[in-house]
Chains A and B, each alone.
Chain A
Amino acid sequence: DQQVKQNSPSLSVQEGRISILNCDYTNSMFDYFLWYKKYPAEGPTFLISISSIKDKNEDGRFTVFLNKSAKHLSLHIVPSQPGDSAVYFCAASGGGSEKLVFGKGTKLTVNP
């Protein structure tokens, strides 16, 4: 039973365009959501997070949107750069637990 789902294994966009990565969750107890970026042969790197009391959090080119009623969040990257090419993991925690539950990841490729 996968509590955090990233249904798109891969995404390809042109440099300068917007990248939108999606994530759905099933556990209504989740109240904190994070995005991690992972390059090959490296550990995941924290990118941006959002608490359930917010519906949007922005950090430079990265914005995360949270729709609690739909149990859906998305990561927007604008403008996309070739260096953004990586695997992006959505993660969630909550219900009094600090355990992070990860999705399977989406591989983003930004073409020059």
Chain B
Amino acid sequence: EAGVVQSPRYKIIEKKQPVAFWCNPISGHNTLYWYRQNLGQGPELLIRYENEEAVDDSQLPKDRFSAERLKGVDSTLKIQPAELGDSAVYLCASSSRLGEAFFGQGTRLTVV
């Protein structure tokens, strides 16, 4: 069974440019998460989806970040415009209703 797939693995952009990350969760997992991990820190939740509905986006900086999960499967996370402080690893995870979360390999974003 394939795990959580994220792309790209690495992205380097100039500040003020837009960037998008893509996530394909494990088949059958209704819950999808986007986390951000800064250097030396644990992952922090940005947004959580139950199927196609965003049920927890309190930590998402909505002035520049947006996310969508069309048809309750794949998801994209977008930043526009990117700032230097957005440099981090962006992790996608998925889980079944009562299970532990499985993470993808992450996208390492560097904003220069």
Give chain A's interface residues, CB within 8 Å of chain B.
Answer: 4, 6, 34, 36, 41-46, 49, 89, 91, 97-105
Contact = CB atoms under 8 A, between A and B. Distances in A.
Given A43-B103, A98-B31, A89 B42 contact: yes
Contacts, number: 48
A43 B91 contact: yes
B87 to A, nearest CB: 16
Chain B contact residues: helix, strand, loop or mixed: strand
Given A98-B95, A99-B48, A44 B43 contact: yes
B105 A100 contact: no
Given A97-B56, A98-B31, A100-B45, A44 B40 contact: no
Interface residues of B, number: 23
Contacts of A46: 100-102
B4 interface: yes
A32 to B, nearest CB: 9
Interface of B: 4, 6, 31, 33, 40-45, 48, 56, 91, 93, 95, 100-106, 108
B43 A89 contact: yes
A104 B45 contact: no
A101 B15 CA distance: 29
